[in-house]
């Protein structure tokens, strides 16, 4: 059932679709929305939210088979409704009772494909006073951005399985790489690097060109050809395995990374851990010219559900990204400023917390939300 809440003041109104989802999703989204209210109040933009109940729980309640996809997790009508919004804010989707792949493909991947959210943007930033598992590394060392291609590679679902359950079983999972897909991700990364304007001014392409010579070749050629349009930016290349090593050894080396879908999936989890864990890692599924969706990277965390102990910082950071990226897309400086304000409020809050791990923060979920909302109001 959709629920609406409008800000009181008149003026242009941004419409945000909210999908709290499963497990701890609703708890962290609630804190994000608390911070959204504070940001709107202090920077003076208008918004309304509409809640959608897409989730594993809804799939099961509607009679979905937990073992195999039997009904759509979201329907054509759901998609059509979402498409009318300015942005989507997602909590978490995942239910231990539902077999792997059903909700992922039926909801998250479906939305990425339907909305053509071809960029997965993952800022990797170690916030102040957040313990880092890497010896001797601090916030100034861990500050880079991964631009992950989000609609191609081995995520397209091309391939199949034959003779399933027999000794002759054979499966293929095709790495569908197009020049078009690589090119738009690469261009986005170069533009992002320019905007970010870090003194390193470098884009690193991450792939595996020594083995995946076909797909890697497409990426490599696109990278260097498009790179010519950006003479101010240094071009760099890492094999994905070496990149994993360097994330641990010298993360300060990186500025902006661009990579394909599965490599991006894997390296951003490694990146999440060096930035302090899933409690703080946020991401955006972007269609830079259309409808984007923002989410904390952590899952639905069933064992912490309903305990008011989960860390909402990642969800709040995702909300900050939502404001900033929507502001860039709509050309609205107020929204960009609101996003920056949320990020500054997070920077002011993490030093007060004992830990970023669930249950060990020294505060409850709602208290952390209150702290960030207060910091937004103070504009620290």
Residues within the interface to ligand IPM (CB under 6 A):
104, 108-109, 265
Write out the two tokens for 134. 């890497």
Of 48 and 265, nearer to Mn ion (C-beta) is 265
- Tell me the Ramachandran region of residue 213: left when phi exceeds 0, alpha when psi lies from -120 to 50, beta otherwise: alpha
The span from the CA of 353 to the CA of 333, in Å, is: 31
The span from the CA of 152 to the CA of 112, in Å, is: 10
DSSP state of 171: E
Q: Binding partner of residue 104 among Mn ion, ligand IPM, none, CB under 5 to 8 Å per kind?
A: ligand IPM
Shortest distance in whole angstroms from residue 109 CB to ligand IPM? 6
Shortest distance in whole angstroms from residue 265 CB to ligand IPM? 4
Nearest 5°: phi and psi at 210? -80, -15
Q: Which residues contact 231 (CB under 8 A, 6 or more apart)?
A: none
Query: How is 255-282 classified by DSSP, letter by letter?
Result: SEEEE-HHHHHHHHHHHHHHTT-TTT-E
Shortest distance in whole angstroms from residue 150 CB to ligand IPM? 8
Of 252 and 265, nearer to Mn ion (C-beta) is 265
Q: Binding partner of residue 340 among ligand IPM, Mn ion, none, CB under 5 to 8 Å per kind?
A: none
Question: What residue ranges bind Mn ion (CB under 5 A)?
Answer: 265
Q: Binding partner of residue 108 among Mn ion, ligand IPM, none, CB under 5 to 8 Å per kind?
A: ligand IPM
Residues 235/172, Cβ–Cβ less than 8 Å = no
Report the residue closest to Mn ion, judged by CB: 265
Write out the two tokens for 307. 């305990």
Of 39 and 286, nearer to Mn ion (C-beta) is 286
Shortest distance in whole angstroms from residue 108 CB to ligand IPM? 5
Of 109 and 342, nearer to ligand IPM (C-beta) is 109
Of 109 and 215, nearer to ligand IPM (C-beta) is 109
Please count the other Cβ atoms lying within 10 Å of the Cβ belonging to residue 180.
12
Of 265 and 332, nearer to ligand IPM (C-beta) is 265
Q: Binding partner of residue 372 among ligand IPM, Mn ion, none, CB under 5 to 8 Å per kind?
A: none
């Amino acid at each position: 059932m959709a629920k609406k809440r409008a800000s009181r003041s008149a003026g242009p109104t941004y419409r945000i679709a909210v999908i709290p989802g499963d497990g701890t999703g609703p708890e962290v989204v609630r804190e994000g929305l608390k911070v959204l209210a504070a940001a709107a109040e202090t920077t003076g933009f208008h918004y309304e939210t509409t809640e959608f109940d897409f989730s594993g729980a809804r799939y099961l309640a509607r009679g979905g088979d937990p073992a195999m996809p039997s009904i759509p997790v979201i329907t054509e009508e759901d998609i059509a409704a979402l498409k009318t919004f300015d942005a989507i804010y997602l909590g978490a989707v995942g239910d231990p009772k539902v077999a792997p792949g059903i909700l992922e493909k039926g909801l998250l991947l479906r939305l990425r494909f339907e909305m053509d959210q071809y960029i997965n943007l993952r800022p990797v930033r170690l916030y102040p006073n957040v313990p880092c598992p890497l010896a001797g590394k601090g916030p100034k060392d861990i500050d880079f951005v991964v631009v992950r291609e989000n609609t191609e590679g081995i995520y397209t679902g091309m391939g199949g399985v034959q003779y399933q359950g027999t000794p002759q079983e054979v499966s293929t999972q095709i790495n569908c790489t197009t020049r078009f897909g690589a090119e738009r991700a690469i261009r986005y990364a170069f533009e992002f690097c320019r905007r970010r304007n870090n003194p390193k001014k470098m884009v690193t392409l991450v792939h595996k060109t020594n083995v995946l010579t076909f797909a890697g070749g497409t990426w490599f050629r696109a990278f260097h050809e498009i790179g010519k349009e950006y003479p101010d930016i240094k071009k760099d290349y890492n094999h994905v395995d070496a990149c994993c090593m360097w994330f641990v050894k010298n993360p300060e080396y990186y500025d902006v990374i661009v990579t394909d879908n599965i490599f991006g999936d894997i390296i951003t989890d490694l990146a999440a851990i060096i930035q302090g864990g899933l409690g703080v890692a946020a991401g955006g599924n972007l269609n830079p010219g259309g409808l984007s969706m923002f989410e904390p990277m952590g899952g639905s965390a069933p064992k912490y559900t309903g305990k008011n102990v989960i860390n909402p910082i990642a969800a709040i950071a995702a909300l900050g990204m939502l404001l900033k990226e929507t502001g860039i897309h709509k050309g609205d400086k107020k929204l960009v400023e609101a996003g920056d304000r949320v990020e500054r409020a997070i920077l002011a809050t993490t030093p007060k917390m004992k830990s970023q791990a669930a249950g060990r923060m020294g505060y409850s979920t709602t208290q952390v939300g209150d702290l960030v909302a207060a910091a937004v109001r103070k504009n620290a």
